[in-house]
């Protein structure tokens, strides 16, 4: 019975995602397409094996090696600074004011790096986020250089 509930939930998520299919060539480029494009680009520097026998053939240097690496994905409503005195006074029902505005897009961070912005959606009483703007890899690199 729990499997049926999970399947219904997965179907609902799939239909919610299908509603948001990005238009071809639009600003909301698909992450999969972006990753495939990066994988298709030639490597800048050869990768050497640990035995020191030379460069690893390009066929072995592919995206499959990193696809199972876990990352932390965080959706951020806003931030604030609070004194420890005020932090210790917080109780159930307390309200903490954040710097984010109502209706403003939420930040999506991967390992602490901004990668997208989006809006909250609810599907079958579960929260999710619909991505509205994806930060391109070149924009992320530009922000790191500042």
Per residue in 50-76, pLDDT (tens digit) is: 555 555 555 556 777 888 899 999 999
> Mean per-residue pLDDT for 95-111?
88
Percent of the chain's residues with pLDDT above 70:
60
pLDDT for 28-50, tens place per residue?
A: 445 555 555 555 555 555 555 55
Q: Which CATH class is domain 59-144?
A: mainly beta
Per-residue pLDDT at 45: 55
Q: What average pLDDT is seen over the chain?
A: 74
What pTM was computed for the model? 0.51
Give the residue extent of every domain in the chain: 59-144
Dump pLDDT digits (tens) for 8-19: 566 776 676 666
- Interval 80-89: pLDDT, tens: 999 999 999 9
**Cβ–Cβ < 8 Å for 129, 106:** yes
> Which one has a higher pLDDT value, 61 or 146?
146
């Amino acid at each position: 019975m729990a499997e049926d509930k999970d399947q219904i939930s997965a179907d609902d998520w799939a239909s919610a995602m299908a509603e948001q299919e990005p238009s071809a060539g639009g600003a909301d480029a698909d992450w999969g397409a972006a990753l495939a494009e990066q994988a298709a680009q030639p490597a800048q520097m050869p990768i050497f094996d640990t035995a020191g026998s030379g460069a690893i053939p390009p066929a072995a240097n592919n995206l499959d090696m990193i696809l199972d690496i876990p990352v932390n994905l965080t959706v951020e409503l806003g931030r604030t600074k609070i004194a420890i005195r005020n932090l210790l006074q917080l109780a159930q029902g307390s309200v903490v004011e954040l710097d984010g505005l109502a209706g403003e897009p939420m930040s999506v961070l991967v390992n602490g790096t901004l990668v997208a912005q989006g809006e909250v959606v609810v599907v079958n009483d579960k929260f999710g986020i619909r991505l509205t703007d994806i930060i391109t890899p070149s924009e992320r690199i530009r922000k790191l250089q500042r």
